[in-house]
Chain A
Amino acid sequence: MSKTKSEVTHHVLVPTHEKISDKEKQDLLKRYNITIKELPMILNKDPAIESLMLKDGDVVKIARASRTAGETIFYRRVINA
């Protein structure tokens, strides 16, 4: 990352993104009875996960602040740009 670019993940409005393990991923797919294709997507070069160096098929867990529910968990699968 160039020095002029600021790290977006430090910003208050950017929710925490983290990679989930393979086991968690399988559990997730089983819980919703889906294949990975049914998950929403996120680009691997998305500034919020760029530093995690994820690859196609990984799943990120996003914990967002929610107006209606306090905190809410969202999952996205990583795709290559």
Chain B
Amino acid sequence: MAEEKEPTAVVSEEQLDAESKEKTSDEKKIPTFDRDYHEPAVTKRIAAISFGLLSPKMIKQMAVCKVVTPELYDKEGYPVDGGLMDTRMGVIDPGLTCKTDGKRLKDTPGYFGHIELARPIIHVKFVDVVLTMLRCACRECGRVLIPDNKVQKIAKELDRIEQEEGLERRREAIKDIVINLKTTSKCPHCKAKQQKITIEKPTTFLESEKRISPIEIRTRLEKLPDQDLVLFGLHSHIRPEWMILTVLPIPPVTMRPSITLESGERSEDDLTHKLGDIVAPEIIIEDLWDLLQYHITTFFDNNIAQLPPARHRSGQPLKTLTERIKSKEGRIRHNLAGKRTNFCARTVISPDPLIRINEVGLPKLIAMKLTVPEVITAWNMKYLKTFVENGPAKYPGANYIIRPDGKKKKITDETKEASLEELQPGYVVERHLLDGDVALVNRQPSLHRMSMMCHRIRVLPYKTLRLNPAVCHPYNADFDGDEMNLHVPQTEEARAEAETLMEVQTQLISPRYGLSVIGCIQDAISGAYLATTSLTFTREESIDLLSAANIEDYSQLPDKEKITGKELFSCIFPKDFDFTGKSKKGEPVRIQKGKLIEGTLDAANLGAGSGMLLRGLHRKYGADETLTILGNLFNLGNEILVKYGFSTSLSDTDLPQKAQDLIQEALDQAEKDVTQLIDDFHNNTLEILPGRTAAETLELRILEVLNKARNKSGEFATQYADQNTNLVVMINSGAKGKPLNLAQMAACVGQQAMRGKRIEKGYFDRTLTCFKKGDLSPLARGFIRNGFKHGLNPKEFFFGAMTGRDSLMDTALRTPKSGYLYRRLANAMQDLRVEYDETVRDSSGKIIQFQYGEDGIDVSKSEKGMLNVQRLIDSV
């Protein structure tokens, strides 16, 4: 039913093509460029799909020729009539025309041919069905081995099952019936005795050890009456004897093209080779019957378990029909489900803080390969001609021109002059990418929508894609060898969509938590922190810094010789911007009328995923303005750090003697406490925790003591460390590192844990052979007393390596697991949406939630998933 209207649509398209062609040739009139013209869509709902078999009659009907000889080409190299490359089945040589439709190479779709097989051949893909039918049908009268009165009843029962429980259950029910019939030994219709039918894989059928020929099988299947076929799951318009081939369709030449090697020799497709084998034997003697069966079997499937695969002369197995379709490299997964695009690029990424956040640096090499189509009009003709003049090899050039009839022409040095002459309105020039063109940039895994954003192109030298480091966070990218993909939208609609929906500034606020996903990172945070805490600059320095950071409005600088970092940063904010927040330390940060009155700018306000400051800017000034301000903050922070001179060294982890003594004391005390605990345990004087054994209690208590000791030594380290070292600046500003990292370097690495316990692995009752059996002391169970700077002793190092290896394994195993979990969630929820009545519903209108998230808040319009009620009240 669904097919009825389709052919008419196709026909009209053909007519349209023919018409436009006629016009160009006869009247020399150039029709308007209609690349984007589409046939009005015909929509139909598919009611059912019915699968069937090709009957021999059908095969002959759809065939355009009969293949009689395995010859391919005659002496002149033309395809032989009645051969496997017969031109009626399509052509693969330029210059020849197809005899069926008169079209040339690439225009002709190709047509099926057929051959008459000398003997019937069993189709390998249907042996299972044939076997069950032979077993279930009488060998004399051909009826199914079920009494007449029951056939109808079972058929009805099957229909009921399909109605109520679906097709899947019907198939199972049919399977059950067939299994029961296998053992029936007497035909209920003609009372003939039934014999046991077995199969010798792949295609030999035996009846009581005697071979049944395909001819015999075919006559038996012919006897099966139509009304009994339902019980095997076949429609009545399909005949089972069609599963035994008497005629074989020959696939069109166009789907098995030969390739011409460099030596001028022709190399035929695997399918052609196989078909040659099938057509070859003219006169069939009984021995050759099996050979023909083998050839046809391997033509369909060359991976049958019991058959040796047919091979090339080189010994490599042929790729026949089944191999073309299945597996990862097959038609389905590789060609249909494998989505690939043109106009895309992939390379290593590297940072460039000098380009804008919404830009992407594109190597010139790539900019000359990827193009954008531009339609010539009277007004841009001169402009576009300059690209054609430059050609494909000189930078702002063009690679192709497209004529209004859709013909694509490559621009080369030879054709350049002619192309230039030819150009007129209606033509399209595929020009090289220019600064300001848009492109989609993507990094896998694309876990959220910010993984694919639209950037403006900036053509740069060298061979890597350049990103502003501020966009690393949404892409989750770093520059240790990461590669990213880039796509160039080719139509006006695609570009508009990319710009309005996907450009970086439109993605600033994360729909996950309602804060900016893009913020300052690393140096920018350290710089801002330093400037707003302690630095002062001369007027000249300030101007220097501002201009280096691309800020040209100096009017906000106070009229003083000494300018503080706070005053410098105040130049960036809009004059009417008010903000109160908290710094990382919890101290208030106040901006009034665009002036930073008090507080320091650090990761809590500037950072990605935490910046309340950025959220405030976004709310008041919108996405574009926020991105500019963010870029300025980022640049100024970086410039200040460059000017300041910033690096970290080993001496940054130095601690005063007093701190070192305190740490040693704390660790000594902890070790003493643990020894005491162990003694208590051995003397049975340990106070046992409720619900625990003595050994468990001991472990818990020891862990507690050791953790306390490590925390204490960490506290000492951070407390006594020089607050002015760059390492501590990075920690305090939130740019990089945690107090724990300092403590591990300066004081004590701490307890190594595996599965939440102290290390127990290794030998019987001990972790390493240098310990006594049953030694429960901290050092024997993976407590690393030394810090990284002091250096670890061999035992400690070994324990460190154990947990290191363990966590490496853990991440390697967890990533695919959590990835799959996320994928299932995403697929399950992909078309849920919030309706106008605020309910969340699926595609069929079923309610999933009565209020989105139970509170109805659009997170991307909130601040950290909450509404700031106080500010709403204040603003009224």
Q: Is B854 an interface residue (CB 8 A)?
A: yes
Cα-based distance from A40 to B854 in the complex (angstroms): 15
Smallest CB–CB gap between A31 and chain B, Å? 8
CB–CB A38/B845 < 8 A:
yes
Q: Is B404 an interface residue (CB 8 A)?
A: no
CB–CB A69/B855 < 8 A:
yes
Cα-based distance from A32 to B853 in the complex (angstroms): 17
Given known contacts A32-B837, A32-B839, A66 and B854 CB-to-CB distance under 8 angstroms:
yes
Return the contact of B847 from the options A39, A69, A72 (Cβ within 8 A).
Answer: A39
Q: Which of B152-172 contact A (CB under 8 A)?
A: none
Question: CB-nearest residue of chain B relative to A76?
Answer: B847
Q: Is B865 an interface residue (CB 8 A)?
A: yes
Neighbouring A residues of B212 by C-beta, 8 Å: none
Cα-based distance from A69 to B850 in the complex (angstroms): 13
CB–CB B857/A68 < 8 A:
yes
Q: Is B628 an interface residue (CB 8 A)?
A: no
Smallest CB–CB gap between A14 and chain B, Å? 17
CB–CB B845/A34 < 8 A:
yes
Bits for B840-871, please: 1 = Cβ < 8 Å to A, else 0.
01000111101101111100000001000000
Q: Which of B815-855 contact A (CB under 8 A)?
A: 837, 839, 841, 845-848, 850-851, 853-855
Neighbouring A residues of B845 by C-beta, 8 Å: 34, 38
Cα-based distance from A39 to B73 in the complex (angstroms): 70
Smallest CB–CB gap between A59 and chain B, Å? 12
Smallest CB–CB gap between A2 and chain B, Å? 29
Q: Is A33 an interface residue (CB 8 A)?
A: yes
Return the contact of B851 from the options A33, A37, A69 (Cβ within 8 A).
Answer: A69
Given known contacts A32-B839, A33-B837, A68 and B853 CB-to-CB distance under 8 angstroms:
yes
Cα-based distance from A69 to B848 in the complex (angstroms): 17
Neighbouring B residues of A73 by C-beta, 8 Å: 850
CB–CB A32/B847 < 8 A:
yes
Given known contacts A32-B847, A34-B847, A69 and B854 CB-to-CB distance under 8 angstroms:
yes
CB–CB B855/A38 < 8 A:
no
Residue from the set B841, B851, B865 with the largest chain A CB neighbour count within 10 Å: B851
Cα-based distance from A34 to B845 in the complex (angstroms): 8
Neighbouring A residues of B855 by C-beta, 8 Å: 66, 68-69, 72
Interface size class of B (residues with CB under 8 A): 10 to 19
Return the contact of A38 from the options B847, B854, B856, B857 (Cβ within 8 A).
Answer: B847
Neighbouring B residues of A37 by C-beta, 8 Å: 846
Smallest CB–CB gap between B848 and chain A, Å? 7
Bits for B616-637, please: 1 = Cβ < 8 Å to A, else 0.
0000000000000000000000
Bits for A28-50, please: 1 = Cβ < 8 Å to B, else 0.
00011110011110000000000
Question: CB-nearest residue of chain A relative to B837?
Answer: A32
Interface size class of A (residues with CB under 8 A): 10 to 19
Cα-based distance from A38 to B845 in the complex (angstroms): 6
Cα-based distance from A37 to B839 in the complex (angstroms): 15
Neighbouring A residues of B839 by C-beta, 8 Å: 32
Smallest CB–CB gap between B446 and chain A, Å? 27
Residue from the set A31, A68, A74 with the largest chain B CB neighbour count within 10 Å: A68
Cα-based distance from A32 to B845 in the complex (angstroms): 11
Cα-based distance from A26 to B854 in the complex (angstroms): 22
Residue from the set B839, B850, B857 with the largest chain A CB neighbour count within 10 Å: B850
Neighbouring A residues of B846 by C-beta, 8 Å: 37-40
Cα-based distance from A34 to B841 in the complex (angstroms): 11
Bits for A3-42, please: 1 = Cβ < 8 Å to B, else 0.
0000000000000000000000000000111100111100
CB–CB A68/B847 < 8 A:
no
Neighbouring B residues of A69 by C-beta, 8 Å: 851, 853-856
Q: Which of A60-74 contact B (CB under 8 A)?
A: 66, 68-69, 72-74
Cα-based distance from A73 to B856 in the complex (angstroms): 13
Neighbouring B residues of A66 by C-beta, 8 Å: 854-855
Return the contact of A68 from the options B841, B850, B865 (Cβ within 8 A).
Answer: B865
Cα-based distance from A72 to B857 in the complex (angstroms): 13
CB–CB B837/A72 < 8 A:
no
Question: CB-nearest residue of chain B relative to A74?
Answer: B850
Given known contacts A32-B839, A68-B857, A40 and B847 CB-to-CB distance under 8 angstroms:
yes
Neighbouring A residues of B837 by C-beta, 8 Å: 31-33
Neighbouring A residues of B853 by C-beta, 8 Å: 68-69
Smallest CB–CB gap between A27 and chain B, Å? 14
Neighbouring A residues of B865 by C-beta, 8 Å: 68
Neighbouring B residues of A68 by C-beta, 8 Å: 853-855, 857, 865
Smallest CB–CB gap between B833 and chain A, Å? 14
Cα-based distance from A38 to B846 in the complex (angstroms): 4
CB–CB B848/A40 < 8 A:
yes
Neighbouring B residues of A72 by C-beta, 8 Å: 850-851, 854-855
Neighbouring B residues of A31 by C-beta, 8 Å: 837
Question: CB-nearest residue of chain B relative to A39?
Answer: B847
Smallest CB–CB gap between A5 and chain B, Å? 26
Cα-based distance from A72 to B851 in the complex (angstroms): 9
Question: CB-nearest residue of chain A relative to B856?
Answer: A69
Question: CB-nearest residue of chain A relative to B852?
Answer: A68
Neighbouring A residues of B848 by C-beta, 8 Å: 40
Neighbouring A residues of B850 by C-beta, 8 Å: 32, 72-75
Bits for B337-351, please: 1 = Cβ < 8 Å to A, else 0.
000000000000000
Neighbouring B residues of A75 by C-beta, 8 Å: 850
Cα-based distance from A69 to B846 in the complex (angstroms): 22
Cα-based distance from A37 to B682 in the complex (angstroms): 67
Neighbouring B residues of A38 by C-beta, 8 Å: 841, 845-847
Question: CB-nearest residue of chain B relative to A75?
Answer: B850
Cα-based distance from A37 to B842 in the complex (angstroms): 13
Neighbouring A residues of B854 by C-beta, 8 Å: 66, 68-69, 72
Cα-based distance from A74 to B848 in the complex (angstroms): 10
Smallest CB–CB gap between A37 and chain B, Å? 8
Cα-based distance from A10 to B308 in the complex (angstroms): 69
Neighbouring A residues of B841 by C-beta, 8 Å: 38
Question: CB-nearest residue of chain B relative to A64?
Answer: B854
Question: CB-nearest residue of chain B relative to A28?
Answer: B850
Smallest CB–CB gap between B617 and chain A, Å? 26
Bits for B177-209, please: 1 = Cβ < 8 Å to A, else 0.
000000000000000000000000000000000
Bits for B246-278, please: 1 = Cβ < 8 Å to A, else 0.
000000000000000000000000000000000
Residue from the set A32, A39, A73 with the largest chain B CB neighbour count within 10 Å: A32
Neighbouring B residues of A33 by C-beta, 8 Å: 837
Smallest CB–CB gap between A70 and chain B, Å? 8
Cα-based distance from A57 to B351 in the complex (angstroms): 62
Cα-based distance from A32 to B857 in the complex (angstroms): 19
Cα-based distance from A73 to B841 in the complex (angstroms): 16
Smallest CB–CB gap between B240 and chain A, Å? 43
Smallest CB–CB gap between B385 and chain A, Å? 60
Cα-based distance from A32 to B867 in the complex (angstroms): 26
Smallest CB–CB gap between A72 and chain B, Å? 4
Smallest CB–CB gap between A71 and chain B, Å? 9
Cα-based distance from A69 to B845 in the complex (angstroms): 24
Smallest CB–CB gap between B838 and chain A, Å? 10
Cα-based distance from A31 to B850 in the complex (angstroms): 11
Cα-based distance from A75 to B856 in the complex (angstroms): 16
Neighbouring A residues of B847 by C-beta, 8 Å: 32, 34, 38-40
Smallest CB–CB gap between A81 and chain B, Å? 18
Cα-based distance from A3 to B856 in the complex (angstroms): 42
Q: Which of B476-533 contact A (CB under 8 A)?
A: none
Beyond A34-B847, A72-B851, A73-B850, 4 additional pairs, beta carbon < 8 A? A37-B846, A40-B847, A69-B854, A75-B850
- Could you name 17 residue pairs across A and B whose Cβ atoms are closer than 8 Å? A32-B837, A32-B839, A32-B850, A34-B845, A34-B847, A38-B846, A39-B846, A40-B846, A40-B847, A40-B848, A68-B855, A69-B851, A69-B853, A69-B855, A72-B851, A72-B854, A74-B850
- Top 4 A-B pairs, shortest CB-CB distance: A69-B855, A72-B854, A68-B855, A66-B854
